Structure 1
Amino acid sequence: MSQIIAPYITTWSAEQEIPSRVVERPGYGVGYADELLGDRDAHGVLWQRPAVRHEAGRPEFGKVHPLRQRRAMRKLLCQVCAGPANQNDDGVLWLLRDFQGDWPNWPEGMACTEPPVCVPCVAISLRLCPALRRGAVAVRVRASEVAGVRGALYRRGVFGPVAAQDVNLAYDDPSIRWVVASALIRELRGCTLVPLTELTEQYDAVQAR
């Protein structure tokens, strides 16, 4: 594996959002004044317009690139190296912050914006990600339907639409017409927690061959 400087989904300093004027589309919701065909996904939802200059400048850790996150979630790619996420009979592998106290059987039913991972990148993530060092859980997920988006919800304003709040919305929610999306959501179902030591030992065994 090549040296990983920053996760695939990380935004780099040269990838600033392209200035775009958000306008109301009467009877539809929001759009861009100079909207292009690629600005919406297959469900008709409007997306942020970041520049795409991967590895140009410096990585902005903690800031996720919307288009790379969307690609990794759609194709179930590892969020760190962009290779295929690990998958076995128990499901696709996710590495998440530990919020087991949030509800019984967490993360069952969770609306997740974090793409999955491969086994080699588990150790890298645990070592380099400050958030995961505060507590991490590996999860096998049998079903992860693409369910909606996270983004800025707009409201009508005096001079045009105004961003009101960040929200998670399902694709069948009528309010999604007023969202500029920044992340794709998968709903995690059929979740099984996996000991982190099992994954690190599995990786070490492969490396030792």
Structure 2
Amino acid sequence: MARQKSTRPPFVSPYITSWSEEVDPPCRLVEIPGRGIAYADETVTDRDQRGVLWLRTPYRPGIGRPVFGKVHPLRQRRAMSRLLCQVCGGSADHDDNGVLWLARDWRDDWPDWPNGMGENEPPVCLPCVRLSMRLCPALRRGAVAFRARRFPVAGIRGAQYAAGPRFVGDVTVALDDPTIPWIRAANLVRRVSDCTILDLDEICG
């Protein structure tokens, strides 16, 4: 008897992962006196609706090889904005207890964690929690699944510059931070609260 092939697509890499052909192109940053930084040849697509300047990373998913550990800025922003699963790119899981997230476990370092956390990793769907826990050794050593009822967009993470412009360092700041005009963003951040921690063994079966 012929063996029926699975209709589930093979796992390649998480949706938000960068690929080797998605290399940031050369660019020249300039200082706008008293206002912040800009690209010398800036276009309307370089900033979001809040006026935040973003990395110019090409969109070429599936071309080359996945660069695990490096997040693609546009796909991360899209997943965070639309509450998409960071692994498959479909809708994240959502029920009466909130949207589902999978994160490293910091409960020993932060009382009441994850409430109040600025989360820059998008949420997940239930099948991808199981997939991630099966394929990622780091998560098996210390991960937590939780649902958040409140998760407003609260900030950005990116490279901060000073006059010159001169690179200062990587920062995470709130959307009302006065330094935002000096930051080239790479990640959108949501602040999670009203959280419920879940039983991973139950989720993963």
Q: Same fold per TM (> 0.5)?
A: yes
Structure 1: runs of 5+ lacking an equivalent: 202-209
**Could you say what the CA RMSD is over the residues aligned between the two structures, in angstroms?**
0.9
Partner of 1:165: 169
Partner of 1:59: 66
For each residue in 1:79-132, what CA deviation from the matched residue of structure 2 results, as whole angstroms up to 9, or x when unmatched?
000000000000000000111112111010000100000000001111222431
1:181 aligned residue (185, 190, 200): 185
Partner of 2:155: 148
CA distance in structure 1 between the aligned counterparts of 2:149 and 2:183, rounded to whole angstroms: 29
| More deviation, 44-53/20-29 | 20-29
Tell me the percent identity.
57
2:88 aligned residue (72, 81, 88): 81
Q: Secondary structure at the match of 2:27?
A: coil
1:110 aligned residue (105, 109, 117): 117
Q: Secondary structure at the match of 2:37?
A: strand
Q: Secondary structure at the match of 2:85?
A: coil
User: What's the CA shift for 1:133?
Assistant: 2.6
CA distance in structure 2 between the aligned counterparts of 1:130 and 1:168, rounded to whole angstroms: 27
CA distance in structure 1 between the aligned counterparts of 2:182 and 2:67, rounded to whole angstroms: 28
After TM superposition, the runs of 4+ consecutive aligned structure 1 residues lying more than 3 A away are none
2:29 aligned residue (19, 22, 44): 22
| More deviation, 181-190/124-133 | 124-133
After TM superposition, list the pairs within 5 Å mapping 1:34-53 onto structure 2: 34-53=41-60
Partner of 1:134: 141
CA distance in structure 2 between the aligned counterparts of 1:19 and 1:36, rounded to whole angstroms: 15
User: What's the CA shift for 1:200?
Assistant: 1.8
Normalising by structure 1, what TM-score?
Answer: 0.92
Partner of 1:204: none
Q: 2:148 corresponds to which letter in structure 1?
A: V
Structure 2: runs of 5+ lacking an equivalent: 1-7
Q: Secondary structure at the match of 1:149?
A: strand
Q: 1:172 corresponds to which letter in structure 2?
A: D
CA distance in structure 1 between the aligned counterparts of 2:194 and 2:139, rounded to whole angstroms: 22
CA distance in structure 1 between the aligned counterparts of 2:64 and 2:41, rounded to whole angstroms: 28
Residue 31, structure 1, aligned to residue 38, structure 2: yes
Q: 1:61 corresponds to which letter in structure 2?
A: F
CA distance in structure 2 between the aligned counterparts of 1:195 and 1:54, rounded to whole angstroms: 33
Q: 1:20 corresponds to which letter in structure 2?
A: C
Equivalenced residue count is 198
